[in-house]
Amino acid sequence: MSIVNYLKESILKRLIKVEDGRVKMFGKIDYIMFPGVAMAEFLHQIGKDMGEDYLFDLGYKAGLDGANEMIEKLGLFANSIPTNMNIINSMFETLGFGKMNIKVMHSEDGQILLTLVEHPVIEYAKLKYGNKTRVCALYRGIFSIHAEKDLKVKNCKLIETQCVLKGDAFCEWSSNYFKKSKKT
């Protein structure tokens, strides 16, 4: 389902409510919408001035709060891991976080391999800065903590082995999957 159909349907089902200029998921969690281009420039500048690790860290902290808020206010992710995976997939797509494909996951061993395409912010960053930007680090941080909290992947700190920004077809992220030497 396209994201806007999902959004339309979500609004019809009152999953996403718009009240007094505020977008609320399930009527409980506030979300803000950013034009992809503005977010790309914002993140590019931070990455340029403070480095990729800081961007990852920012994403990790934001993702931790986001994941906690979903658990606190919606009681999500008390389900089985496959159900959680479906929730995460459709939720991230709805949020304009691109299309994620989890290829390998062994939660107990802390192992995960996934790819990401069509992320609007990463796409804009690529257009504007090509391989000179590291904006995906923020989203890698966000996904890392969601994988740890919602998918129970132990000590998940995703590394990037392929990247849209470097001309690859997708961003490829993993934790405890490849030997460190493959990290680009």
141, 63 Cβ separation under 8 angstroms: yes
State how far the alpha carbon of 7 is from the alpha carbons of 16, 55, 96, in Å. 7, 28, 11
Applying CB under 5 A, among 60, 163, 175, 177 the residue interacting with Zn ion is 163
Residues touching Zn ion: how many (CB under 5 A)? Answer: 3
Q: Kindly report the CA angle at 117 between 134 and 75, in degrees rounded to 5?
A: 95
121-150 residues in contact with Zn ion (CB under 5 A) are 136
Cα 115 to chain centroid distance, Å, stands at 11
- Distance, in Å, from the CA atom of 107 to the CA atom of 24, rounded to the nearest integer, reads 31
Contacts to another protein from residues 84-113, by CB under 8 A: 93-99
Q: Which stretch, 54-62, 80-88, 103-111, 172-180, contacts another protein (CB under 8 A)?
A: 54-62
Among 14, 27, 28, 34, binds another protein (CB under 8 A): 34
Coil vs helix vs strand at 95: coil
For residues 125 to 164, the per-residue mask of contacts with another protein, x marking binding by CB under 8 A and - elsewhere, is ----------------------------------------
Residue selected from 14, 27, 30, 167 as contacting another protein according to rule CB under 8 A? 30
Give dist(CA 65, CA 137) in Å, integer: 17
Smallest distance, Zn ion to C-beta of residue 69, A: 22
Q: How far is the CB of 12 from Zn ion (least distance, A)?
A: 34
Binding residue for another protein, selected from 28, 65, 83, 182, defined by CB under 8 A: 65
Residue 11 CA: distances (Å) to CA of 14, 24, 150: 5, 10, 25
Please, is 93 exposed, middle or buried when counting C-beta atoms within 10 Å of its C-beta (0-12, 13-18, 19+)? middle
87 or 110, CB closer to another protein?
87
By a kind-dependent CB cut-off of 5 to 8 A, residue 4 interacts, out of another protein, Zn ion, none, with another protein
Name the residues that contact Zn ion, by CB under 5 A. 136, 163, 171
